[in-house]
Amino acid sequence: MYLITLIQAAAIAFHILPVFADLAKIPIIRPTGHYKVGALDIKLEDKSRHDYFSPSESRKIVVTFHYPTDKTTAFLRPYIPFTIQPIVEADYTIPPGELSRLVSNSYQYAIPAKLPSPAAIIFSPGFRSSRYLYTSLCEDLASHGFVVISIDHPYDALAVEYPGTNKTVLMHPSAGNATLDTIHPFHTQRAEDMTFLAGVLKDWLRRLEVHTESVNALKIGAFGHSLGGATSAGAMQRTKLIQAGLNMDGFFVNGTTTDDAIKNVERPFVIMGAGKHNSTSEKTWREWKKYQSWWYKELNLVDSGHLSYGDFGAFVEQLGLRDKMDKQFLEGYLGGLNGERAVKVQREYIRDFFDWQLRGGKGEFFKQAQKDFPEMVFME
């Protein structure tokens, strides 16, 4: 009953406008598991830290919980809030209004299913991006029984809408021209965000009545795209609560402080590259590998681009945007691999890794190449 009360309060306090499922809308590429997916957005505050980009305030983040459910509600979440949509479309050169044609596969405020295996995965998006652009990855994991918590990091995300308020935080001006040499403050704050979330996760799973009986045995994984991949490694250097990590095509940040210098994460870790981006061309990956004493694996999604990871390539195909967007831009960021196929392949490998590391699965995808997925190859 506590969860029902919480969800009723969330409908008011978080003020996320529900939209009834519109048959005219196109669902983002559907999840493959046997569970339906529920979702809820929450603002979390870390009172122990000041925000680097707003020093007078404590640090706040906004997260989405995607979780398995057996009981659907009457409405699906929009793919992206209407306040965020035009900002994302402009930055990604998507024709205005196109993202409004999409709908997620997640039921707002659905009651979580009772799960036998306590496993949660934290996700961090790319720099100057949005957690909404990775919805299909999070939904797919949730449909297979994981609880997935995606973070938006205010001031480096394109825009973050605080639930229950009219406040939207835009990207900090310094993010617009950040380089590998100036990105350290963003990376540090992101890694601390993820570390904070890992520390409060058990309490929130109890509040949401997920894993209430087994939450003390919770196992946590972390993954991310681009700077979000580096964030996962940075958080693992700060806390032992995260048992496994995965980096989707992100460089590693080698900062000047002890916390931000590349170090041994001391737990299993996977790097997934895109196309020609691999440890041969990426010096931070070569540097990172020198420090590792535990199992790691580098894979490569051949003929892909940096934005093949996440939803971008999938909805380019689903919405028929190849003829509406700059071809050179799409070729540079998506390569030649079909966007929907790229999502299907990466989801299989991400899920198999976390099932192996957090739930005792077999990890077959990391022991030998899979003939059904020739697009993903071992680099070593």
The domains of the chain are located at 2-378
Question: What pLDDT score was predicted for residue 19?
Answer: 41
Residue in the structure block whose two tokens are 């000047």: 256
| pLDDT < 50 stretches in the chain | 1-2, 4-6, 8-21
| Interval 81-132: pLDDT, tens | 999 999 999 999 999 999 999 999 999 989 999 887 789 999 999 999 999 9
Structure tokens at 81: 């809030």
Phi/psi at 187 (5° precision): -65, -45
- Long-range contacts of residues 204-211, Cβ cutoff 8 Å, at least 24 apart: 204/42, 204/65, 205/118, 205/120, 205/147, 207/2, 207/3, 207/6, 208/3, 208/6, 208/40, 208/65, 208/67, 208/112, 209/2, 209/3, 209/112, 210/67, 210/112, 210/115, 210/147, 211/115, 211/118, 211/147
pLDDT at 215: 79
Rounded to whole angstroms, the Cα distance separating 359 from 362 reads 9
- Residue 200 pLDDT: 97
> CATH classification of 2-378, choosing from 3.40.50.300, 3.90.950.20, 2.40.170.20, 3.40.50.1820?
3.40.50.1820
DSSP assignment of 44-109 equals EEEEEEEETTEEEEEEEEEEEEEEEEEE--S-EEESS-TTTHHHHHHHTTPPTTGGGGEEEEEEET
Please return the burial class of 101, using the count of CB atoms within 10 Å of its CB with bins 0-12, 13-18 and 19+: middle
Q: Coil, strand, or helix at residue 300?
A: strand
Task: Note the pLDDT of residue 16.
Answer: 42
d(CA 75, CA 208): 19
Judged by DSSP in three states, 114 sits in coil
Give pLDDT, residue 248: 99
Structure tokens at 15: 């003020």
Residue 161, helix vs strand vs coil: strand
For residue 161, list its beta bridge partners.
168
Pairing assessment for the beta strands 26-27 and 36-51 based on DSSP bridges: unpaired
pLDDT at 258: 62
